[in-house]
Structure 1
Amino acid sequence: MNTPKWHGHATGRTVALAGCAALVLGATGAGTAQAGHHHRDLARQVLGAGDGWASEGAGTTGGAAADSAHVYTVTTWAQFKAALADSPGAPRIIKVKGLIDAVSEGCDALAAEGYDFQRYLADYDPAVWGNDTVVSGEQEDLRAASAANQDQMIKANVPANTTIVGVGRNSGIRGGSLQIKAVDNVIVRNLTIEAPVDCFPQWDPTDDNKTGAWNSEYDGVVVYGSTHVWIDHNTLTDGRYPDSSLPEYFGKVYQQHDGLLDVVRGANLVTVSWNSFEDHDKTMLIGNSDGAGSTDSGKLKVTLHHNRFEGIVERAPRVRFGQVDSYNNHFVVTAGQKFGYVFGIGASSRLYATDNAFSLGSGVSTGKVLKKWSEAPLTAANNYVNGRLTDLIAVHNAEIPAETLQSDAGWTPTLRTKVDHPRAVPGIVDHRAGAGRLR
């Protein structure tokens, strides 16, 4: 067996799982949720009134109403998944202590017997296989079986009425994928989430105009068909495995990352606040298909505020269908980094992007902040680029006239907290966004 050596380092933490009862390491107190952000127990804080789309209707309280029997402190991935699965239907609080690793034993431990990456490369080399048909045969079947093993290992299904919170300043999840799927009322806070590395990407020789491409799976966090979700004060990053460290095969990057945070398949009423998104390519997708109008129309309502994006190539976010409110975010693009765009304007989207700050390095085009994928109007007012008020739509249309964008998203957000002046946003957000910075 010969696979690339990713996620081969154990965390050094080997706490045995001895039943779900062992996860309950002491009561934090029962009771109902209290309104607002300032309850002194971080694990029982709820989303404040008027704080983005996730505050609409019943609001978002996560597991704040959990009794003491359903408060868990976990230090391993196995414990974490067990806490998620325990007592279906009960509100729960899961405290993640330290860095837990979903693939602590490395990729080789997930490989199907007989899978050999060097054999895979030899069998599907374009010089041998060509670029006209998708790969098939023994090694592709074994790669798919290996991928299925990883899928089962790293995906963690989050139930309704759950709060997941990191303990202290240095807790989080490495290599796991949080699946918030078809549930209501979830909070994820104060975690450093290192994006999963796909151990077994598939080579598609027909992709990219028949020049081929490596296609990977697994997002750090997926909100799929769920409602009332609050993602707050997390750091989401490629961490130890930046794209710059990935090798090339067949002249193409062996891509092992997908998204950091995707909101898809009819998900709705989501607030993403005070997070740090770092060093990633395809960062955030809101709506995954142009043809998904039957499930996505009238949904995908997402608020993004006071988040920091640095080292991001694209999709911050790319939007389809949704009424997305983006305000008081700080976008940092350094000179020389790979950069595609910030906001992707997709099918039937209604993006309202105002009061944001952009710090663009020398040579970075302001016109590329916006990217037109489909005909859809947006509102983009009172945004500042390098400290100066800038009409992003006008600059885009002047620099890229072949992709003329239309103004006025046709709606005005009402669910906003204090809107800071864009000139103040870098100082505020850079010091307060991300894991370990909750007050």
Structure 2
Amino acid sequence: MRPNDRTTAHRSTGRERRPGRAAAAVLCGAALCCSAPALSAAPALAAAAHPGDAAWPVLPARDGWASAGGGTTGGADADAAHVFTVRTRGELVRALGDGDPTPRVIRVAGTIDANTDDRGRPLDCADYATDGYSREGYLKAYDPATWGREELPSGPMEEARAASAARQAERVKLSVGPNTTILGTGRNPRLLGGTLQIKGVDNVVVRELTFEDAYDCFPQWDPTDGADGAWNSEYDNLVVHGSTHVWVDHNTFTDGRRPDSGQPHYFGQLFQQHDGELDVVRGADLVTVSWNVFADHDKTVLIGNSDSAGDTDRGRLRVTMHHNLFRDIVERAPRVRFGQVDVYNNHHVVPASGYAYSWGVGVESRLYVEANAVTLPTPVDPAQVIKGWKGTVLTERNNRVNGSLTDLLGLHNAAVPEEELGDDVGWRPVLRTRVDHPRLVPHIVEEGAGAGRG
């Protein structure tokens, strides 16, 4: 049984239009916001009317940062000629419109495999390899026993790897234009092996999709990464890059058919073919991430990609994350630099082994963490939930571990005094439709989060 209207904020048959971009917005400034609202019933999800009596979801008022500055409606104003149902990569690419700002709704039906050619035939890593690249040749060329550990790979085989990677990128990177809604429909709508790129645009909605296995055929070996080197890959499932007013809601993100546990190790390190599940980077702003499932992954959600990106990111990267399920996630749930990020009413189900942390406090971050639930197995120390990454402050309030109210910030500061964090980030969220009691969050999120639950 799913939660009823008193405990969910994601169902409606109502109608709401977004005010014009010039309309006054309820915005929290760079320094301070007003007090957070008290516990309250949830408003209904807004919907816009369209030709043929179709209705497309728009973000409710006050539902996180993406509701500020005029709100987020995606393609809700699309006319009948710009409503598409797509079943193949080719159909999806055509429907995306190559940056055309005309409002559009793209309904994804079934599985779309990004690793297919223009005729829909499957492609594998061998089809992308060029200029003499082979994994065996690459491993031989850059074996630390002969190449050493002081320099990045260079020369013909690394150039071949880069050229091969570029060929795959042409297939799997799918660019989303402004004023677009991408909406899963029917049974198990899924983007397999692809990465949606929301880059430099405004007003996008992505709902009801499963993102599975955005894998890199050609990871690069970096012998200088950490003490033992590492394999680094491309392709997050979903990237919000320099974009504004983006709503990511009721999706499922998973490695699916290609879990890290099944991948080989080379040079003593996992041959990592996955990057993140969601990145919000390079000046992106006004983003709401709600009711998603992030599952079975290592580096999961990154907000702010570089310690040196202050000129681009300072005053931006305002993101709300609520009612998401993080299940068996190693780290970055999320990791934040610079941004004012509101993290509330999420459920973190921590793995018994391999866990690193959940909330990463990076450079100049202002992370407000409230009323979340953490399910922690016995071997894991609750002091691990927070990790300092050159950040200085974190507001952490009313979070529960295995049902008990727990001072996670205090535990972190006591366990890792060299990473001691202050407790006042200097702002309080106001853009919340409701806040559930953290004791209820595991049930509410388990019943309501993920693709097919909206």
Give the TM-score, by structure 2 length.
0.87
Q: Which of 361, 383, 390 lines up with 1:367 in the alignment?
A: 383
Counterparts of 1:415 and 1:168 in 2: how far apart (Å)? 32
What are structure 1's unaligned runs of at least 5 residues?
Answer: 1-31
Q: Does 1:55 align with 2:67?
A: yes
What are structure 2's unaligned runs of at least 5 residues?
Answer: 1-14, 19-43, 116-121
Q: Which of 321, 327, 338 lines up with 1:321 in the alignment?
A: 338
Summarize the alignment of residues 9-28 of structure 1 with structure 2, pairs less than 5 Å apart. Answer: none
Percent identity between matched residues is 59
Q: Which of 189, 192, 213 lines up with 1:171 in the alignment?
A: 189
State the one-letter code of the partner of 1:314. E
User: Which digits, 9 at most, give the CA deviation of each residue in 1:179-209, with x for residues without a partner?
Assistant: 1001000000000001311100111223223
Indicate the residue corresponding to 1:80 in structure 2: 92
Against the structure 1 CA distance between its residues 262 and 86, is the aligned structure 2 distance closer, same or farther, given a 3 Å change threshold?
closer
Indicate the residue corresponding to 2:432 in structure 1: 416
Q: Which has the higher contact order (CA 8 A, sep 6+)?
A: 2
Cα drift, residue 251 of structure 1: 1.1
Cα drift, residue 359 of structure 1: 0.4
Cα drift, residue 135 of structure 1: 1.4
State the one-letter code of the partner of 1:79. E
Against the structure 1 CA distance between its residues 334 and 213, is the aligned structure 2 distance closer, same or farther, given a 3 Å change threshold?
closer
Indicate the residue corresponding to 2:213 in structure 1: 195
State the one-letter code of the partner of 1:267. A
Counterparts of 2:225 and 2:132 in 1: how far apart (Å)? 27
> 3-state DSSP class of the match of 1:51?
coil
Summarize the alignment of residues 20-419 of structure 1 with structure 2, pairs less than 5 Å apart. Answer: 34=17, 37-39=45-47, 44-85=56-97, 88-103=100-115, 104-209=122-227, 211-335=228-352, 337-419=353-435
User: Which digits, 9 at most, give the CA deviation of each residue in 1:349-383, with x for residues without a partner?
Assistant: 10110010000011111101000111321110010
Q: Report how many residues are paired.
A: 405
Counterparts of 1:93 and 1:55 in 2: how far apart (Å)? 19
User: Which digits, 9 at most, give the CA deviation of each residue in 1:74-125, with x for residues without a partner?
Assistant: 1011211111126812110000000111113211111114222111111211
> 3-state DSSP class of the match of 1:345?
strand
User: Which digits, 9 at most, give the CA deviation of each residue in 1:368-406, with x for residues without a partner?
Assistant: 100011132111001011000111111111222232111
Against the structure 1 CA distance between its residues 238 and 213, is the aligned structure 2 distance closer, same or farther, given a 3 Å change threshold?
same
The answer (yes or no) to whether the contact 2:337–2:365 under 8 Å persists in 1 is yes
User: Which digits, 9 at most, give the CA deviation of each residue in 1:250-291, with x for residues without a partner?
Assistant: 111111111100000010000000000000000011011111
The answer (yes or no) to whether the contact 2:99–2:178 under 8 Å persists in 1 is no
> 3-state DSSP class of the match of 1:69?
helix
Counterparts of 2:303 and 2:422 in 1: how far apart (Å)? 20
Against the structure 1 CA distance between its residues 406 and 109, is the aligned structure 2 distance closer, same or farther, given a 3 Å change threshold?
same
State the one-letter code of the partner of 1:204. D
> 3-state DSSP class of the match of 1:170?
strand
Counterparts of 2:208 and 2:402 in 1: how far apart (Å)? 29
User: Which digits, 9 at most, give the CA deviation of each residue in 1:282-322, with x for residues without a partner?
Assistant: 00110111111111111100000000001100000001110
The answer (yes or no) to whether the contact 2:213–2:257 under 8 Å persists in 1 is no
State the one-letter code of the partner of 2:449. A
> 3-state DSSP class of the match of 2:368?
strand
> 3-state DSSP class of the match of 1:44?
strand
The answer (yes or no) to whether the contact 2:46–2:59 under 8 Å persists in 1 is no
* Aligned-CA RMSD value: 1.6
> 3-state DSSP class of the match of 1:415?
coil
State the one-letter code of the partner of 1:39. A
Against the structure 1 CA distance between its residues 123 and 376, is the aligned structure 2 distance closer, same or farther, given a 3 Å change threshold?
same
Cα drift, residue 33 of structure 1: 6.0
Counterparts of 1:400 and 1:126 in 2: how far apart (Å)? 34
Against the structure 1 CA distance between its residues 162 and 146, is the aligned structure 2 distance closer, same or farther, given a 3 Å change threshold?
same
State the one-letter code of the partner of 1:289. S
